[in-house]
Amino acid sequence: HLNPRSGRWVPDHTQLQYHVSSAVAYNVWQYYQATGDVEFLSFYGATIILEVARFWASVARHDPADDRYHIRGVMGPDEFHDAYPDADHPGLDDNAYTNVMAAWVLDRAEATLAALPADRREELLDELEITDAELARWRAVGSRLALHFHDDGVLSQFAGYDRLAELDWDAYRAKYGDIHRLDRILEAEGDTPNRYRVSKQADVLMLFYLLSAPELARIIERLGYRWDRAVIPRTVQYYLDRTAHGSTLSSVVHAWVLARTDRTRSWALFEQALESDVDDVQGGTTAEGIHLGAMAGTVDMVQRCYLGLEMRDDALHLDPCLPDALREVRVRLHYRGQTLRVHATRDAVTVTFAHGTTERARVSVGSETVELRAGEERRFAVARAARREAVAV
């Protein structure tokens, strides 16, 4: 791409962003969770998830030295890093986001097969020529992918991240003011963000955006690592201190990870995401095209984050934590053929089973799970955010 500050052409290595394939599999599984559409999963979705799992197992390489599988030569969502300093080839090793999501896909592949009718499962395995030996490799890779941690337990963005130099953020802010596009600034100086612990949007925090804290812990522990939830606030702060927010998506992700520990700051970042195109916060990029990802992300923030909406265990889960500026949320949800109306405040959630193709709707709010009948309404009291566990993400 052309750096507008320097007029120089900079190599584009975004073809190494293999993690995009995991996003496709993630969306397929989310759709299935929301709809319960076994036919879709059987004849379309399962093929996608299984082929992505096959891809990850094929690129992972086993190292007998640590008895771990490694995925090398990739680029994570954070586009500030595409190579190691002074390396003669692009790519990074064991990007945390890439490896965790690869492990997630390999785990979901097994769950996908279990969700299919037995005859269709056998038929699909035959069609795709997936053998028992290949399935065994998927399980092996999915339980031994490598992650790297700093000495204090913070999950490292990629192998060697903690050995990069620290940037003098105050000096760059004083010199340039707006440093959202820190990569262009460094490139114009003849430098590169590859030398520093800086992020456009922190890869590790993206994991908290996609996965609940229990699910992330389950995957990391399945990989054979000890994961202490108490390290989450430290991890969040570590990457917040080193992020330039060069992407409109960064505001969404950081609003998310702060939602239950710093609601005021979370709301400020949420408003920033809302205004990204209205105010053209990146100084001219809106004219090139709207930031649809940030727009969708703000809707997702209200639903999955502030409402605490999650689909698991064949139930719709709600765990609201509304910022002070958001007094209430009203949404109508279509879940597995059921239409549910949800009204949430900071003290209570009211769920109404409006109508549906089934007689009952299974809903969970906090630790309480109920089955609603068509036309039934239920009010749940919710704990105030101030009493919530501080490490909840």
Q: What is the pLDDT of residue 10?
A: 61
Q: What is the pLDDT of residue 7?
A: 58
Which stretch of DSSP H or E encloses residue 356?
strand 348-356
Q: What is the dihedral of CA 354, 356, 361, 365, to 10 degrees?
A: -40
Catalytic residue among 51, 79, 271, 288: 79
Q: What is the pLDDT of residue 25?
A: 98
Residue 94: CA count within 13 A, CB half-sphere: 18
Is the pLDDT confidence value at 307 over 80? Answer: yes
- Name the amino acid, one letter, at 332: R
Residue 210: CA count within 13 A, CB half-sphere: 22
Q: What is the DSSP string of 83-97?
A: S-TT-SS--BSS-HH
For 247, the token pair is: 């992407």
Mean pLDDT of 77-86: 91
Instruction: Please tell me the chain's helix, strand, coil percentages from 3-state DSSP, rounded to the nearest 5.
Output: 45, 15, 40
- Name the amino acid, one letter, at 377: E
* Mean pLDDT for the chain overall: 89
Q: What is the pLDDT of residue 83?
A: 95
Q: What is the pLDDT of residue 202?
A: 85
Q: What is the pLDDT of residue 391?
A: 39
Mean pLDDT of 302-309: 92
pLDDT digits (tens, 9 = 90+) for 215-231: 999 999 999 999 998 89
Q: What is the pLDDT of residue 5?
A: 56
**Cα–Cα distance for residue pair 147/129, rounded to 1 Å:** 30
pLDDT digits (tens, 9 = 90+) for 156-169: 999 999 999 999 99
Residue 355: CA count within 13 A, CB half-sphere: 0
**Cα–Cα distance for residue pair 351/315, rounded to 1 Å:** 13
Is the pLDDT confidence value at 278 over 90? Answer: no
Contacts of 162 (CB under 8 A, 6+ apart): 148, 150, 151, 156, 197
CB 386 within 8 A of CB 263: no
Assess whether 79 carries a catalytic annotation.
Answer: yes
Is the pLDDT confidence value at 213 over 90? Answer: no
Instruction: Among 116-120, 266-270, 326-330, name the one with the lowest average pLDDT.
Output: 266-270
**Cα–Cα distance for residue pair 23/8, rounded to 1 Å:** 32
Confidence class of residue 3 from pLDDT cuts 50, 70 and 90?
Answer: low
Q: What is the pLDDT of residue 9?
A: 56
Q: CB neighbours (10 Å) of residue 171?
A: 9
What percent of the chain has a predicted confidence (pLDDT) above 90? 65
Which stretch of DSSP H or E encloses residue 361?
strand 360-365
Is the pLDDT confidence value at 385 over 50? Answer: no
For residue 196, the SS3 value is: strand
